Structure 1
Amino acid sequence: MPIFISPREEGRSFSKASERTINSRLRIDAWKETQPIRIFHSLRYRDYALFWITDLLGSLGHFVQEVALFWITYEITRSAMALGVLGLCSAAPRLILGALSGVWVDRYDRKLLLILVQFASAIPIAIFLAIYAFGTLAFWHLLVLEVLFGSIRAINPSAAQSILAELVPREDVMNAVSLYTVGFNIARTAGPSLGGVLILWIGTGGCYAAFAATLLLSGAGMLFIRPNKERTVKQEQNFSREFKEGFRYVWHAPLILSSIIAAYTFAVFIVTYQSFLPVFAKEVLQVGPEGLGVLMAAPGLGGIASLSLLASVGERWNRATLLWVMTTTTPIFLILFCLSPIFWLSVLLLALVGAGQVSFRTISRVIIQMEAPRNLMGRVMSVFNLDQGMRSVGSVVMGACATILGAPLGLALTAATSLIITTMLFYRLLARKH
């Protein structure tokens, strides 16, 4: 029997075919948009670009100073536990003041807070330079100055991450957060390597002086940023009520809560491994300050690679799945690093650790930026950033394990603990979802 197609049906068939063709072209165009140029998409916004450059400059100086700090501490004490105590003094103020900082970030002008932090951070650096110049530097000086520096910087993470949404349109938040972390990891890669070289060229004091200069330049650059003023600065209300409001929201947001608990677990059992890299450099891999600089730069290099991918095609993947992958693979790579006696294999494994670690934090930040209300952003971000304060606990835990069991076995044990906890956490989240 012949089949007759009416003009209307023929038109429908043609329309469907055309629609498929158009959709295919749109998919191709969408893919083109995710190519490398998309990675730097947010830099077309003047204020974001200025913020990104100034933050990159400050972070670069900080990592130069951090290598110098770890190196001179180990030179003075020759103790892994001393490195852990130093990490405790650096992170403890962030744990104590970090949650409170969220209320200030939501209440006051974020740009002004960031500028004040940059300039004030130069004060403990100047004190160090004065003590160092007189040749009277002792370990307790480093501890006191780290407490002061950590107290001043406690508000910086929440303010910096909360202001991102005021510098780009909502549809570019994922790219902006990823690119912000790419910049941080560029500094994390270049800073330690540069620091290792500068220790040989200009000494520890020169590294600290360079950091002071970058802080002042960073603060001056932020004066010219013009954030979106849609968010009105809040009038002062009951501090306690505002403080509790942020925690209450987090408690009733399962995905955000899971991300935060995983971040705390990483902080205690994973993140402070970098404080003990001087032990691996000197005693396991037998390399000098240049080798230490390479080891400390490797996680940043891995982070840049993974974040470049996230910035370009991150929206295609399920965020909860990515969180689970990063929280399980990162401790595995750290365990393998602890077992490696080969320098370049160790560098590769540290790069993979860094890729997982910073990708996890980036995805967590994006989830908060997309889901948390604007009027609670600072407080929710400050609860998340308490993980930086939790590093004080991690420094003691990992320092004790490294002292009792040796750095390789001690860090492998803490990494295995993190793997168990995060696996159980996301299994529970998945079960709750179903």
Structure 2
Amino acid sequence: MAGPDTHASPAPARSSSFAPLRQPVFALLWVAAVMGNLGTFMRDVASSWMVTELSASPAAVALIQTAATLPIFLLAIPAGVLSDILDRRRLLIALQVLLGGVSGALLLLSATQTLTVEWLVLLTFVGGVGAALMGPTWQSVVPELVSRDELKSAVALKPLGINIARAVGPAIGGLLLASFGAATAYGADVLSYIFVIAALLWWKRPEAKEDGLKEQFGGALRVGLRYARASRELHVVLLRSAAFFLFASSVWALLPLVARQMLGGTAGYYGVLLGAVGAGAIVGALLLPRLRGRLGADGLVLLASGLTAGVMAALAVAPPRWVAVLLMGVLGVGWIVALTTLNGVAQAVLPNWVRGRGLAIYLMVFNGAMAAGSLSWGLVAQEVGVPLTLLLGAGGLAVIALAFHRIKLPTGEADLQPSNHWPEPLLSAPVAHDRGPVMIQVEYRIRRDDLPAFLQAMKHVERERRRDGAYAWGVAEHASEPERVIEWFLVESWAEHLRQHHRVSRADAEMQAEALRLHIGPDRPRVEHLLAL
């Protein structure tokens, strides 16, 4: 079970940033996602501006941002489980229909002059539910569409597509809003969902093979949480993400008020500001490969924090409108650098079998920080005003960026492909998949002088066992034969242990090999499987 994988994997070939677009299915779905986001930004511009017409309260304006992001915080983990156990194509189609219905309802309410703040918040919340369920699923399909050596480029293209839509969508939405009213902007969003659904129907995703080990929702949820609890690499990504987005959210929550009250702009000008963010993000995405080579992931997050904090501080003094447009471009650079870097590291530290659930937890932290930050900054602005709130957010972001810079992001270079080096368990008779719990015992022979080094190596093995599904783990020595050391761990069922066989990665095999080098027995460590009666 615990032997190392002796076959090294070949080094991946280098590929250009746009190489994934040569894959027809990826290219079509990427374009569809751009179109979908284009409509979403039109809808968001209309909703953000309409709430300023319906209420002058900063808290009400910030509540729209909270309503959009809170569902993602609440539902991200269940959404990740669904993306790992359901057919992702069918799930995406159903969610597009739901989101199209939300925009259709907004269209009818605005056309009949019955749209209120309450309706805006409610429908924005329902749209957030759809986005919560869709986010992990969209991200999880990327490894299915491109080769492994193109995965990082494909991951980077997703936020580039979002920001292409951000560069155009808000400006178009603002023009439609100013020229024809909110109903037209909402109608354009409905049309975008039709395009996305058509692309998903064209994609013929291969049917998953039934192997008898398909996870159920409850077990998949528990295993995903265990993985997140045991993965230190993921902990660092989540901590750094929460620190950045909690403070950076202030500029997004208050931007409609900055445009309308501080700068005296119209709906069209607000769209131009958001379009400038998208244009800056495109520039940032093009500069990112060169910046990544010079600064690394930690330097990129520090750079993004500095740019964002500087923009927030500059907006606080109510600069001329044209200067504000330039500042929004700088904000776009900082935003795409932070978002792509943190998302890319999260993707890189997650194996495929738990990718949806891991990304869901990342999205939960991201949107939870955005929701909590937006609501908090809105309440602060209501008490002390928008300019001072922006200054407080800028100062807090600068301080937290410097403080957390010492907590280094993982490199994400570990080989997470399954090693498949565990031999199949020996059975006297077939075991029902739902039987459990199961105790697995691995017996090592360790010299007394080597015991401290062995226990140190087993700390890494413990994290691997818990990440892959064990809910309890320990090491014990034999009372009469101190050189006999027993590693034991518990899993919920026989099926869950069989899944462990397929989850162990090549990087995990290397960690297990560190402990195996101290084993002095003539044979491999003895493995026993004990079934509860």
TM-score, normalising length from structure 1? 0.84
Q: Is the 8 A contact 2:252 2:374 kept in 1?
A: no
SS in structure 2 at match of 1:339 = coil
1:351 aligns with 2:329: yes
Whole-angstrom distance in 2 between the partners of 1:107 and 1:426: 36
Instruction: Provide the residue aligned with 2:370 in structure 1.
Output: 391
SS in structure 2 at match of 1:332 = helix
Whole-angstrom distance in 2 between the partners of 1:157 and 1:48: 16
Q: Is the 8 A contact 1:166 1:228 kept in 2?
A: no
Whole-angstrom distance in 2 between the partners of 1:43 and 1:242: 32
322, 344, 368: which one aligns with 2:346: 368
Instruction: Provide the residue aligned with 2:397 in structure 1.
Output: 418
Instruction: Provide the residue aligned with 2:388 in structure 1.
Output: 409
Q: Is the 8 A contact 1:333 1:350 kept in 2?
A: yes
Select between 223-232 and 45-54 the one with higher mean Cα deviation.
223-232
Amino acid at match of 1:55: A
Amino acid at match of 1:345: V
Instruction: Provide the residue aligned with 1:209 in structure 2.
Output: 187
Instruction: Provide the residue aligned with 1:427 in structure 2.
Output: 406
The percent of aligned pairs where both chains have the same amino acid is 27
1:322 aligns with 2:268: no
Instruction: Provide the residue aligned with 1:125 in structure 2.
Output: 103
Whole-angstrom distance in 2 between the partners of 1:297 and 1:254: 37
Structure with the higher strand share, 1 or 2: 2
78, 86, 89: which one aligns with 2:56: 78
Instruction: Provide the residue aligned with 1:138 in structure 2.
Output: 116
Q: Whose radius of gyration is greater, 1 or 2?
A: 2
Select between 82-91 and 242-251 the one with higher mean Cα deviation.
242-251
Whole-angstrom distance in 2 between the partners of 1:161 and 1:106: 11
Amino acid at match of 1:287: G
1:63 aligns with 2:57: no
Select between 227-236 and 300-309 the one with higher mean Cα deviation.
227-236
Instruction: Provide the residue aligned with 2:220 in structure 1.
Output: 242
Instruction: Provide the residue aligned with 2:315 in structure 1.
Output: 337
Q: CA deviation at 1:218?
A: 0.9
Instruction: Provide the residue aligned with 1:17 in structure 2.
Output: none
- For residues 268 and 56 of structure 1, do their structure 2 counterparts lie closer, same or farther at Cα, with a shift above 3 Å needed? same
The within-5 A match list for 1:12-51 is 38-51=16-29
Tell which has more relative contact order, 1 or 2 (C-alpha 8 A, sep 6+): 1
Q: CA deviation at 1:155?
A: 1.2
Instruction: Provide the residue aligned with 2:73 in structure 1.
Output: 95
SS in structure 1 at match of 2:406 = helix
Q: Is the 8 A contact 2:172 2:271 kept in 1?
A: yes
Select between 288-297 and 54-63 the one with higher mean Cα deviation.
288-297
- For residues 163 and 86 of structure 1, do their structure 2 counterparts lie closer, same or farther at Cα, with a shift above 3 Å needed? same
Q: Is the 8 A contact 1:231 1:374 kept in 2?
A: no
Q: Is the 8 A contact 2:82 2:217 kept in 1?
A: no
Q: CA deviation at 1:328?
A: 4.1
Count matched residues.
Answer: 397
- For residues 316 and 256 of structure 1, do their structure 2 counterparts lie closer, same or farther at Cα, with a shift above 3 Å needed? farther
Superposition RMSD on alpha carbons, in Å?
2.6
1:193 aligns with 2:162: no
Q: CA deviation at 1:48?
A: 0.6
Q: Is the 8 A contact 1:274 1:296 kept in 2?
A: no
1:176 aligns with 2:134: no
Instruction: Provide the residue aligned with 1:112 in structure 2.
Output: 90
Whole-angstrom distance in 1 between the partners of 2:286 and 2:142: 18
Q: Is the 8 A contact 1:39 1:308 kept in 2?
A: no
Runs of 4+ in structure 1 deviating by more than 6 angstroms, as ranges, are: 228-234
The within-5 A match list for 1:150-299 is 150-227=128-205, 237=215, 239-271=217-249, 273-299=251-277
Amino acid at match of 2:265: V
Whole-angstrom distance in 1 between the partners of 2:388 and 2:206: 49
Q: CA deviation at 1:419?
A: 2.7
Instruction: List per-residue Cα deviations over 1:310-367 (Å, max 9, x = no partner).
Output: 3578567633332333234422332233234222222222222221222222122222
Q: Is the 8 A contact 1:294 1:347 kept in 2?
A: yes
- For residues 317 and 229 of structure 1, do their structure 2 counterparts lie closer, same or farther at Cα, with a shift above 3 Å needed? farther
Whole-angstrom distance in 1 between the partners of 2:205 and 2:294: 29
Select between 301-310 and 379-388 the one with higher mean Cα deviation.
301-310
Whole-angstrom distance in 1 between the partners of 2:216 and 2:401: 36
Q: Is the 8 A contact 2:28 2:199 kept in 1?
A: yes
- For residues 247 and 307 of structure 1, do their structure 2 counterparts lie closer, same or farther at Cα, with a shift above 3 Å needed? farther
- For residues 429 and 228 of structure 1, do their structure 2 counterparts lie closer, same or farther at Cα, with a shift above 3 Å needed? farther
Q: CA deviation at 1:378?
A: 0.3
Whole-angstrom distance in 1 between the partners of 2:212 and 2:67: 33
Instruction: Provide the residue aligned with 1:10 in structure 2.
Output: none
Q: Is the 8 A contact 2:71 2:129 kept in 1?
A: yes
- For residues 313 and 407 of structure 1, do their structure 2 counterparts lie closer, same or farther at Cα, with a shift above 3 Å needed? closer
Q: Is the 8 A contact 2:312 2:393 kept in 1?
A: no
Whole-angstrom distance in 2 between the partners of 1:423 and 1:248: 31
Amino acid at match of 2:35: L
Select between 58-67 and 130-139 the one with higher mean Cα deviation.
130-139
Select between 122-131 and 77-86 the one with higher mean Cα deviation.
122-131
- For residues 145 and 92 of structure 1, do their structure 2 counterparts lie closer, same or farther at Cα, with a shift above 3 Å needed? same
Q: Is the 8 A contact 2:107 2:182 kept in 1?
A: no
Whole-angstrom distance in 1 between the partners of 2:330 and 2:405: 21
Whole-angstrom distance in 1 between the partners of 2:199 and 2:289: 25
SS in structure 1 at match of 2:202 = coil
- For residues 233 and 299 of structure 1, do their structure 2 counterparts lie closer, same or farther at Cα, with a shift above 3 Å needed? farther
Structure with the higher helix share, 1 or 2: 1
